[in-house]
């Protein structure tokens, strides 16, 4: 007889789902409807999106995708927008193909900013992206609750409240294949290198080398994924 405790505690390796999902072209009617909506004022599109933002049906999901296509600068096929996702200044967003944005994620753009999310990126539920000058390359994963910060107040002069001081915006780049763990925080001006892993709960204050594994507060390099891949840093 099989020991149930053994099967319950067994480690399993299963195929990836999101990263290997084939992207089918979106139906022509979605593109046509989005093109029609593009002429509408931003507040009208925001109101329309609000009607479907929290719905669970396939129709709600389709309408979310249509409205996002109308709002964004460019928008690829096969994008999935979860329930309760919030965005600001989507007109500055460039969205690749096969992107997934999880429930209740927030993408905070700026009217004069730029946000690029590459093909097959996976943005976890409740993630927060300060997307004023943000580039997320292809096949990047951001775990649930991950936060990317792109701006901070200068704090000078000291004689006024910090919130009244000027805002300094620094570009953030998360390079292809990188993975950012649950509740990790990426601070302004940081580049996370290709294929790097940022551990859960890490606070990243400096650039992360390609194929490095970093963890801790502040994050530091723990190891490299393989000796061969370490050579790609050069």
Q: Read off the pLDDT of residues 197-223 as tens digits, 9 standing for 90 and up.
A: 999 999 999 999 999 999 999 999 999
Structure tokens at 223: 């190891």
Q: Which stretch of 3-12, 16-25, 82-91, 201-210 has the lowest confidence by average pLDDT? A: 3-12
Task: Please state the rounded mean pLDDT for residues 146-173.
Answer: 96
pLDDT tens for 174-188 read 999 999 999 999 999
Domain boundaries, the chain: 26-71, 78-233
At 110, is the pLDDT very low, low, confident or very high (cuts 50, 70, 90)? very high
Comparing CA positions, the residue from 69, 109, 67, 107 lying closest to residue 92 is: 109
Comparing CA positions, the residue from 75, 121, 128 lying closest to residue 100 is: 121
Q: Cα dihedral angle (17, 23, 24, 25), rounded to 10 degrees?
A: 150
* CATH of the structural domain 78-233, one choice from 2.160.10.10, 2.60.40.180, 3.20.20.70, 3.40.50.300: 2.160.10.10
DSSP, residue by residue, 184-216: -EE-TT-EEPTT-EE-TT-EE-S-B-TTEEEET
Instruction: Give φ, ψ of 224 to 5 degrees.
Output: -110, 150
pLDDT for 5? 53
Comparing CA positions, the residue from 109, 141, 108, 149 lying closest to residue 125 is: 141
Task: Compute CA 38 distance to the chain's CA centroid, rounded to the nearest angstrom.
Answer: 24
pLDDT tens for 31-86 read 999 999 999 999 999 999 999 999 999 999 999 999 999 999 999 999 999 999 99
pTM across the whole model: 0.90
pLDDT for 6? 52
Structure tokens at 233: 């840093």
Q: How far apart are CA 119 and CA 176, in angstroms?
A: 10
Q: How far apart are CA 83 and CA 60, in angstroms?
A: 9
Comparing CA positions, the residue from 225, 179, 224 lying closest to residue 202 is: 179
Q: Indicate the SS3 state at residue 181.
A: coil
Q: Look up tokens 């507060």; give the residue.
A: 217
CA separation, residue 159 to residues 153, 154, 168 (Å):
14, 12, 18
CB atoms within 10 A of CB 57: 9
């Amino acid at each position: 007889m099989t020991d149930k405790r053994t099967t319950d505690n067994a480690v399993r390796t299963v195929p990836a789902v999101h990263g290997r999902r084939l992207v089918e072209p979106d139906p022509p009617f979605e593109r046509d409807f989005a093109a029609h909506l593009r002429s509408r004022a931003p507040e009208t599109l925001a109101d329309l999106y609000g009607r479907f933002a929290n719905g669970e049906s396939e129709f709600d999901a389709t309408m979310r995708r249509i409205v996002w296509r109308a709002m964004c600068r460019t928008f690829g096929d096969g994008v999935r927008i979860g329930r309760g996702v919030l965005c600001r200044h989507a007109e500055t967003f460039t969205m690749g193909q096969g992107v997934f944005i999880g429930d209740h994620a927030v993408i905070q753009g700026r009217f004069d900013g730029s946000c690029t999310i590459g093909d097959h990126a996976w943005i976890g539920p409740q993630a927060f992206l300060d997307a004023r000058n943000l580039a997320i390359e292809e096949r990047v994963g951001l775990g649930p609750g991950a936060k990317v910060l792109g701006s901070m107040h200068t704090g000078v002069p000291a004689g006024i409240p910090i919130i009244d001081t000027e805002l300094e915006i620094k570009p953030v780049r998360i390079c292809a294949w990188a993975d950012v763990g649950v509740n990790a925080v990426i601070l302004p001006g940081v580049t996370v290198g290709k294929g790097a892993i940022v551990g859960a709960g890490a606070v990243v204050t400096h650039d992360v080398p390609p194929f490095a594994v970093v963890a801790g507060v502040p994050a530091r390099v723990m190891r490299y994924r393989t000796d061969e891949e370490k050579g790609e840093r050069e």
